[in-house]
């Protein structure tokens, strides 16, 4: 039979039984056809769980095919030899058998003589990775031969295979940066041809190979990945998201593609993929309501099947980005149920991060705080990295301050003073220097003297106030240093872009809780957000704006 016709018919066969029946109808076939038949058998009979029907290895037609390859390996074409070798590995044929030993030996002999093309080298590399793993010594030999080939003419499949091999050889301590530089340049020209799988594999390899200088390639791949979002497998999407995080890529259209894809797929997505999506949003401060609303629904449906780390990954971003989805009551009711049944399974730091994120959005874990403030739990926190560092102690302190201010009915254990910090390290809340300077200049113009306001004032309540203004009983401004006859305190919160979610006017959780607590502590909180001051072009206009915000009763 003509080879082209053979492969056309073979492609339409969907079971090994159909393939064996088809093969028995042929009087003669080339080694390429025979290896193609083995490959098709591996495609239909192997899934994620392995070989569906091990009995097929005993089929007489299958054994006749293997016999041909075992005793005629030296007469095979390179394509026939390597395709058969690859198919038999996938079919879980015993690696110690004489058949596999014969094919491996013949392949290595041809490699040593330099008889393999770039495509052959890729096929052999793929097979050895699956058969022997990254420690296989022959992989380095394959890389050396690849360097001698005309890299500019490689197909996307060959490019991907070399990245895979380099990924594992570099893990073994081998350096191949010269080849990588050439490979990165060639790949840049082929980005538009890459499938979802190839795009994901290359991005993952660039992360593993620490290719932070390949900026043009990374940027092109990240932009190219946008159109593949609906077609990535869970594993592929995780690789792509990890690359976005590692290289600090922020592509708005990628987020928009996720917003279209996640709500439709949330109930079938692997929890680890959803966790990675939430990590991507949280790290980049992206408050995507379509994603967060869908993830909340997914949590309500699937929470019982999530690991403790996945539960934390789903929930913490809501607190960090200060967002309550429409299903918030059901979401936190489900979270409480899960915590009641699985509390002891959480690692101490994971549990603290989770409960702290809840109070940022006024969801109070009252029933679980006695455990958090217990000496036993605090000892466990101290024993596990990062221990009781300043950030961990600030979370404990803020939890304690929250129940003191917002849950006066709480009567459980208190947090001992030795576990409390004197001031909170605000991760994203250091003032925007340029905006801060403009506000202070405007205040000076308004109040005439610098003595009438203080900046970056430490309070006895762990928070630092950006700007504090003191007033007497009649509403007159007092010198900032005065401590007597202070009737009102105004806290100006100078909120630059760094205190808001990206491209949003939604305050971050840590800033929202600070302003909430300052109010409860008796301050009059006046927010000066960046988006209200952007168009104030001079000091007089800034002073006029501040007058209206701080002293509305006397304005005009």
User: CATH number for the domain including 480?
Assistant: 3.40.960.10
- Say if CB 315 and CB 303 are below 8 A apart: no
pLDDT tens across 297-311, in order? 999 999 999 999 999
pLDDT of the residue at 247: 96
The overall longest dimension of the chain from CA atoms, in Å, is 108
Domain boundary among 115, 148, 177: 115
Residue 152 CA to chain centroid, in angstroms?
33
The C-alpha atoms of residue 313 and residue 282 are separated, in whole angstroms, by 10
The lowest-confidence range among 93-97, 265-269, 308-312, 402-406 is: 93-97
Query: If you ran DSSP here, which 8-state letter would residue 385 be given?
Result: T
211 within domain boundaries: yes
Six-digit token string for 517: 């607590």
Find the helix or strand (DSSP H, E) in which 104 lies.
helix 98-112
In a domain, 261, yes or no: no
> How high is the pLDDT of residue 84?
92
Q: In the predicted model, is pLDDT for residue 89 greater than 60?
A: yes
Tell me: pLDDT of 135 over 80.
no
Q: Check pLDDT > 90 for residue 144.
A: no
Structure confidence by residue, pLDDT tens digits, 445-463: 999 999 999 999 998 888 9
Query: Is residue 277 one of the residues assigned to a domain?
Result: no
Identify the weakest region by mean pLDDT among 8-12, 172-176, 325-329: 172-176
The residue among 54, 86, 115 that closes a domain is 115
Same domain? 92 vs 153: no
Averaged pLDDT, 23-36:
88
The helices-and-strands tally (H runs, E runs) of the chain is 26, 7
Q: Are 98 and 190 contained in the same domain? A: no
Token output for 331: 């979401």
pLDDT value at residue 47? 85
How many domains, in total, are found in the chain? 3
CA 107 to chain centre: 40
461 inside domain: yes
pLDDT for 426 equals 64
CA separation for the pair 278, 276 (Å, rounded):
5
**How confident is the model over 286-296, as a mean pLDDT?**
98
Q: Of 125-129, 175-179, 221-225, 415-419, which gets the smallest average pLDDT? A: 175-179
Q: What is the mean pLDDT of residues 261-277?
A: 97
Give residue 556's pLDDT: 65
- Residues 6 or more apart whose Cβ sits within 8 Å of residue 538: none
Closest CA to 143 of 178, 109, 110: 178
Cβ contact 321:357 at 8 Å: no
Q: Are residues 8 and 40 in the same domain?
A: yes
Domain membership of residue 379 (yes or no) is: no
Band the pLDDT of 70: cuts 50, 70, 90: confident
Q: Do both 444 and 505 map to the same domain? A: yes
pLDDT tens digits for 347-368? Answer: 999 999 999 999 999 999 999 9
Question: What pLDDT does 165 receive?
Answer: 84
Alpha-carbon distances of 459 from 338, 346, 512, 533, rounded to whole Å: 37, 34, 17, 27
Is the same domain home to 172 and 208?
A: yes
**Average pLDDT, stretch 309-318?**
98
Location of structure tokens 């705080």: 369
CB 127 within 8 A of CB 163: no
Verdict on whether the full-model pTM lies above 0.75: yes
Is the same domain home to 162 and 105?
A: no
Instruction: Give the Cα separation of 89 and 129 in Å (integer).
Output: 11
CB neighbours of residue 77 within 10 Å: 13
pLDDT confidence of residue 422: 85
Mean predicted confidence (pLDDT) in 46-63: 87
Q: What is the pLDDT of residue 175?
A: 64
pLDDT at 543 over 70: yes
182-219 pLDDT, tens per residue? Answer: 899 999 999 999 999 999 999 999 999 999 999 999 99
* Residue 204: predicted pLDDT: 96
In a domain, 309, yes or no: no
Question: Do 508 and 538 fall within a single domain?
Answer: yes
Report the Cα 435 to chain-centroid distance in Å.
Answer: 32
Q: What are the tokens at 135?
A: 């420690």
Judge contact between 202 and 187, C-beta under 8 A: yes
Query: Angle 545-546-550 (CA atoms, 0-180°, nearest 5)?
Result: 125
Pair 515, 459: CB distance under 8 Å: no
C-alpha–C-alpha distance, residues 52 and 357, integer Å: 46
197, 226, 249 - which closes a domain: 249
Q: 158 pLDDT exceeds 80?
A: yes
The residue range of the domain holding 245 is 135-249
Is 519 in the same domain as 473? yes
Q: What is the pLDDT of residues 102-129, one digit of tens each?
A: 999 999 999 999 899 888 888 898 898 8
Mean pLDDT (whole number) for 517-546: 95
Please confirm whether the linkage preceding 386 is cis (ω < 30° from 0). Answer: yes
Q: Are residues 238 and 148 in the same domain?
A: yes
**362 Rama sector, left if φ>0, alpha if ψ -120 to 50, beta otherwise:** left
Query: CA 438 to CA 428: how far, in whole Å?
Result: 20
Please give the Cα distance from 313 to 276 (Å, whole number). Answer: 8
Average pLDDT rounded to a whole number, residues 324-345: 97
Domain-located, residue 409:
no
Q: What is the mean pLDDT of residues 471-485?
A: 94
Mean pLDDT for 61-85 is 89
With respect to residue 415, please indicate whether it lies within any of the assigned structural domains: no
* Coil/strand/helix, residue 60: helix
What does pLDDT average to over the chain? 92
């Amino acid at each position: 039979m003509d080879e082209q016709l053979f492969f056309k018919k073979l492609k339409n066969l969907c079971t090994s039984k159909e393939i064996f029946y088809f093969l028995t109808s042929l009087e003669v076939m080339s080694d390429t056809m025979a290896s193609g038949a083995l490959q098709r058998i591996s495609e239909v009979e192997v899934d994620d769980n392995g070989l569906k029907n091990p009995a097929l290895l005993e089929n007489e037609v299958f054994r006749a095919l293997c016999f041909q390859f075992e005793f005629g390996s030296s007469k095979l074409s390179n394509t026939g030899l390597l395709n058969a070798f690859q198919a038999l590995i996938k079919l879980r044929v015993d690696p110690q058998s004489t058949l596999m030993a014969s094919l491996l030996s013949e392949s290595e002999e041809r490699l040593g003589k330099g008889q393999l093309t770039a495509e052959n080298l890729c096929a052999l590399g793929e097979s050895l990775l699956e058969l022997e793993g990254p420690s296989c010594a022959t992989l380095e030999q394959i890389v050396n031969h690849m360097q001698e080939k005309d890299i500019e003419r490689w197909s996307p499949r060959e490019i991907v295979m070399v990245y895979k091999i380099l990924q594992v050889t570099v893990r073994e301590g081998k350096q191949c940066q010269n080849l990588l530089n050439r490979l990165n340049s060639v790949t840049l020209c082929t980005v538009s041809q890459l499938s979802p799988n190839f795009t994901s594999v290359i991005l993952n390899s660039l992360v593993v190979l620490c290719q932070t200088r390949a900026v043009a390639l990374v940027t092109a791949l990240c932009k190219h990945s946008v159109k593949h979002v609906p077609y990535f497998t869970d594993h592929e999407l995780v690789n792509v998201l990890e690359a976005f995080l590692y290289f600090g890529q922020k592509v708005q259209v990628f987020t928009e593609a996720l917003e279209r894809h996640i709500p439709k797929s949330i109930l079938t997505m692997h929890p680890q993929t959803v966790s990675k999506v939430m990590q991507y949003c949280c790290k980049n401060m992206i408050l995507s309501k379509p994603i967060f609303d869908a993830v909340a629904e997914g949590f309500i449906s699937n929470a019982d099947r999530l690991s403790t780390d996945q539960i934390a990954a789903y929930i913490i971003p809501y607190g960090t980005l200060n967002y309550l989805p429409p299903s918030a009551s059901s979401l936190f009711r489900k979270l409480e149920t899960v915590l009641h049944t699985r509390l002891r399974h959480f690692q101490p730091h994971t549990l603290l991060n989770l409960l702290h994120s809840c109070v940022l959005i006024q969801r109070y874990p009252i029933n679980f705080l006695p455990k958090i403030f217990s000496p036993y739990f605090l000892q466990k926190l101290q024993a596990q990295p990062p221990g009781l560092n300043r950030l961990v102690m600030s979370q404990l302190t803020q939890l304690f301050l929250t129940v003191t201010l917002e849950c006066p009915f709480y009567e459980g254990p208190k947090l001992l003073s030795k576990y409390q910090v004197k001031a909170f390290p605000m991760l994203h809340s250091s003032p925007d220097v340029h905006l801060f300077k403009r506000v202070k200049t405007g205040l000076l113009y308004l109040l005439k003297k610098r003595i009438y306001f203080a900046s970056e004032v430490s309070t006895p309540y762990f928070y630092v106030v950006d700007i504090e203004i003191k007033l007497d009983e009649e509403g007159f401004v007092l010198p900032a240093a005065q401590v007597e006859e202070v009737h009102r305190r105004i806290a100006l919160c100078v909120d630059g872009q760094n205190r808001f979610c990206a491209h949003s006017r939604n305050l971050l959780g840590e800033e929202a809780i600070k302003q909430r607590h300052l109010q409860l502590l008796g301050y009059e909180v006046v927010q000066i957000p960046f988006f209200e001051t952007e168009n104030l072009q001079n000091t007089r206009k800034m002073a006029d704006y501040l007058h209206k915000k701080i002293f509305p009763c006397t304005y005009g």
